[in-house]
Copies of this chain bind each other. A is one copy, B any other.
Amino acid sequence: MKGYSKLTEGLLGQPMLEILTTVCALEAAGKKVYRFEVGDSAIDAYPHIVDAVKKALDEGHTKYVDSLGILPLREAICDYTKRKLGFRPDVSQVAIMPANSVIDFVMRSVVNPGEEVVFSDPGFAVYIAVASYLGMKAVKVPVLEKNDFRLNPEDLLARITDKTRLAIITSPQNPTGGVMTEAEMLRVAEIAKEKDIYLLSDEIYAENIYDCQHYSPAVVDQCRERTIILSGFSKGHSMSGFRLGYAIGPSDLIAKMGQMFETVYTCVPPFIQYAGIAALNTPKELMAERVSRYKKLRDLMVKRLNEIPGITCATPKGAIYVFPNITGTGLSSREFAKVVLEKAGVAVVPGCCFGEGGEGYVRLCYVRDEETIEEACAAIKKALTK
């Protein structure tokens, strides 16, 4: 009678783990590995954010709190949304939980097994993983380099059927860095309304944007009807290890997601939630300084990659990744990743880990220091040309 449930058959794991195993073996053998595979900043969280955690600990914020989050953080998120997007959600529309939990709980709340959820290809591996283990059908919308990696709303529309319950839109996008225009976002909101489906707007990279502006489809219904904003502090505030994110959505849905979170997690540690308040109060100059620093690193990486024969790299307008086209090398994305890891000691994620549409590309997170970028690109060049 022992054995595993059917659900476990749908567990994909993270496809990039195959890279990680080799990385660990190389590092254990004393080899230097330039690690560009993890979607994380080499820059630490600002000291005022860390201090906020310490202060909250000292003040005894170490006990259970409301599953939806502490009120001052939820209010701070309402204020931030007003500043950023021009509307102020009701506090009952806000739930504090890790961003990945938002994906899982939104999908579980509005999609039945066998029904359809639409999102981009290439796209964030967790959308694929959650749909798979929940037995939902993942319908992919191609996101193409020739369209600057922006999802075309009409391509989305063409894939909505009477089984579609949810569309997920990601701008800035992971892994491509594509940023959608205002007109495109408004069209997406219109399509969701016409087709009467839910719309999850993954805005985790909203603070990682260069030479352009971030738009949200949420301005249309103010998250009161069908739009759910997913955001958090990992990417915009270098707080990946804090596991602090949030959802803004219709109050009823947020209440259901809160019940799920209560059941499996109870609440986000309160002393961590105070770090979120501090993060939202980060001085504008510091935020601008970070964006400017990231942009310089992006530009350096794009420049160096384009100097390598067989690689062409577009300049992404958002997120923290470059997504170079490696078809000129004659290698598949998996082969490329293997070669540069073994011969150059550079860890990247094969594009195919983000869906079929990622084949021919690899993802590198460029928030490393200049020296690391220079050395790694030189090593890739050498490995590919010898």
Contact = CB atoms under 8 A, between A and B. Distances in A.
Interface in A287-340: none
A173 B310 CA distance: 64
A7 interface: yes
Contacts of A241: 61-65, 267, 269-271
A38 B98 CA distance: 24
A104 B130 CA distance: 15
A199 B164 CA distance: 39
Contact of A11 (B54, B110, B259): B259
Interface of A: 1-8, 11-14, 38, 40, 44-45, 50, 53-54, 57-58, 60-65, 98, 100-101, 103-104, 108-112, 126, 129-130, 133, 162, 164-165, 195-198, 226, 239-243, 253, 256, 259-260, 262-272
Nearest to A101: B264
A72 to B, nearest CB: 15
Nearest to A44: B60
Given A5-B112, A13-B259, A110-B5, A264 B100 contact: yes
A1 B100 contact: no
A236 to B, nearest CB: 15
Contacts of A197: 1-2
B198 A2 contact: yes
Nearest to A262: B14
A109 B2 CA distance: 11
A65 B24 CA distance: 13
A265 B239 contact: no
Contacts of A129: 263
Given A62-B45, A269-B241, A263 B100 contact: yes
B62 A50 contact: yes
A57 B54 contact: yes
25 contacts: A1-B165, A2-B110, A2-B226, A3-B110, A4-B253, A4-B256, A5-B165, A8-B109, A8-B256, A12-B259, A13-B259, A44-B62, A45-B62, A50-B58, A54-B57, A62-B240, A64-B240, A98-B266, A100-B264, A101-B264, A101-B265, A104-B264, A126-B263, A243-B267, A269-B269
Nearest to A264: B104
Given A1-B165, A40-B63, A242-B62, A133 B13 contact: no
Nearest to A271: B241
A96 to B, nearest CB: 12
Contacts of A240: 62-64
Contact of A268 (B110, B243, B267): B243
A64 B45 contact: no
A260 B38 CA distance: 19
- Residue of A4, A162, A241 contacting most chain B CB atoms (<10 Å): A241
B50 A64 contact: no
Nearest to A54: B54
B265 A1 contact: no
A111 B269 contact: no
Given A13-B259, A98-B266, A133-B260, 10 more contacts: A1-B165, A2-B198, A5-B109, A7-B109, A7-B112, A50-B58, A53-B271, A54-B54, A61-B241, A101-B264
A366 to B, nearest CB: 16
A6 B165 contact: no
Contacts of A133: 260, 263
A97 to B, nearest CB: 9
Contacts of A6: 112
B100 A265 contact: yes
B54 A4 contact: no
